[in-house]
Amino acid sequence: MTDPTVLRTRGLTRRYGRDSGLVRAVDDVDLDVPAGQTLAVMGPSGCGKSTLLHLLGGLQRPTAGEVWLAGNRIDTMSERALARLRRDSLGFVFQSFHLMDELTAVENVELAALLAGRPPRRARQRALHLLDRVGLADRATHLPSALSGGQRQRVAIARALSNEPQVVLADEPTGNLDSAATLEVLRLFEDLRAAGQTLVVVTHDARIAAVADRVVAMRDGAFADDTRLAGTVYGGRR
């Protein structure tokens, strides 16, 4: 039987500084994310959410512990292998979109598909398909500057999907959005969840948590015991 766990950590720890300045940003975290799960990570500012997400995506190395992505141990991987794995298996969505200002919406998505190795014609087709999926088919040739915040974030989500990632990691995806735009993104996450996309989202927004399968609360770098039974807190579904 294949292991349904897409993302796994054991004893995951990231410290900064030393002695009296020591910060345990992530402290001995064990996490299993099965395929198809939408996991929301919540908690107060500075509790370690972003650091956790960076460790899960191989954007930062842990001080101790293990991270496994789709059966591959990534914390000990070479930078080169890690870059390849990120390109092929992960999609990232950030609070501030990180779109290329001089490229149109479709070019932003297409570029990611090209970098993931799709032939040009397929990359364009896939980009258009994904923009359609996020409800922006009619904005394909707009520059990011001509899009609303919610539309920009939807382009960024389409881009994150361009390599058919095993996991999408999102860091405060609605952090910069007003409430109408937040609803657009929320609806999209609901669609992704329904489509079986594995998703880990760090958020302050209880509405995002409410569409998650599982919610964990972090405090001082660790998962708070009372929320290990996720879905019972913040109104998560399961």
Q: Which residues bind ligand ATP (CB under 6 A)?
A: 16-17, 23, 25, 43, 45-51
Q: Which is nearer to ligand ATP, 1 or 22 (CB)?
A: 22
CA distance 147 to 57: 28
The string of DSSP codes covering 29-86 is EEEEEETT-EEEEE-STTSSHHHHHHHHTTSS--SEEEEEETTEE-TTS-HHHHHHHH
Specify whether the CB–CB gap between 182 and 140 falls below 8 A: no
For ligand ATP, give the closer residue by CB, 16 or 120.
16
Q: What is the 3-state secondary structure (H, E, C) of 71-113?
A: CEECCCCCHHHHHHHHHHHEEEECCCCCCCCCCCHHHHHHHHH
What minimum distance in Å lies between the beta carbon of 48 and ligand ATP? 4
Q: Residue 43 CB, nearest distance to ligand ATP (Å)?
A: 6
Residue 50 CB: number of other CB atoms within 10 A? 20
Classify the C-alpha dihedral 215-69-175-143 as positive or negative: negative
Report helix, strand or coil for 133: helix
Question: Which of 7, 109 has the CB closer to ligand ATP?
Answer: 7
Tell me the closest approach of the beta carbon of residue 5 to ligand ATP, in angstroms: 23
* Of 55 and 136, CB closest to ligand ATP: 55
- Beta carbon nearer to ligand ATP, 65 or 144: 65
Alpha helix locations (H) across 75-228?
A: 79-89, 105-115, 120-133, 149-160, 179-194, 206-210
Cβ 3 to ligand ATP, closest distance in Å? Answer: 28
* CA nearest to 185, candidates 105, 104, 94, 123: 94
Taking the complex as a whole, how short is the minimal distance between the CB of residue 174 and ligand ATP, in angstroms?
A: 13
Nearest CB to ligand ATP, comparing residues 4 and 11: 11
Q: Between vectors from CA 222 to CA 48 and to CA 194, what angle results, nearest 5°?
A: 80
CB of 36 to ligand ATP, least distance (A): 25
Which CB atom, from 49 or from 214, has the smaller least distance to ligand ATP? 49
Shortest distance, CB of residue 125 to ligand ATP, whole angstroms? Answer: 37
